[in-house]
Structure 1
Amino acid sequence: MESHDKDEPLETRLVQVLGQVQGVGYREACVRRARELGVTGWVRNRTDGSVEAMLQGSPEQVAALCAWLSEGMSAALVEALEVTEMPPPFARFDNFERLPTL
């Protein structure tokens, strides 16, 4: 999928992924999947053992990545997603990247 058009409506969501999601390649897999879907934003580990991601894209793109985040990958055990809608105005992200641990 291609990244979103500058004129298309965007959704921005902050997602916290709870479970056994660190140390298994989850963030790298998330970056790959986000880029495949055309979602922009970032992902990082948190010191509490969760993974946090800021997602931006069309409603369909964001929903598809949230679905992937909830399933995770075979080495991860996702227990829950906490999704927070970020109301406009918000900055537009240019790509999807991995950030340092918070």
Structure 2
Amino acid sequence: MEHIRAVVHGVVQGVGFRYHTRQIAQQLGVKGFVRNQPDGTVEIVAVGTSEQLNSLLDWANQGPVGARVTQVEAEPHTESTHFDGFTIER
């Protein structure tokens, strides 16, 4: 399993981005969390296979209707954390 941390930039708060991210992650079988950041970005920390994570990042580059994603920065997440599912954090 791989761990990633991604930061999504653009118009990504107030458009249901976290809720849709959770839905897509659950469909893909990815575990982790999504949360809004004070600077207007959305952070995604996820664990899954390379294929699952690539699919999640492909979706994040588009986002839900109403979002305008300008950039997704993704990097390996070195903190080994166990997640029971995929949650929305506040």
Instruction: Bin the TM-score by the shorter chain.
Output: over 0.9
TM-score (norm 1): 0.85
Aligned partners of 2:61 and 2:3: how far apart in 1?
17
Name whichever structure is richer in strand by fraction: 2
Higher relative contact order, chain-length normalized (CA < 8 Å, sep 6+)? 2
TM-score (norm 2): 0.96
The 4+ residue runs of structure 1 with deviation greater than 3 A are: none
How many residue pairs match? The answer is 90
Aligned partners of 2:81 and 2:35: how far apart in 1?
18
Residue aligned with 1:71, SS: coil
Residues 73-92 of structure 1 correspond to what in structure 2 (within 5 A)? Answer: 73-87=64-78, 90-92=80-82
Unaligned runs of 5+ in 2: none
Give the CA deviation at 1:92: 2.2
Query: Over alpha carbons, which structure has the higher Rg?
Result: 1
Q: State percent identity of aligned pairs.
A: 37
Paired residue type of 1:32 = Q
Unaligned runs of 5+ in 1: 1-9
Q: CA RMSD in A?
A: 1.0
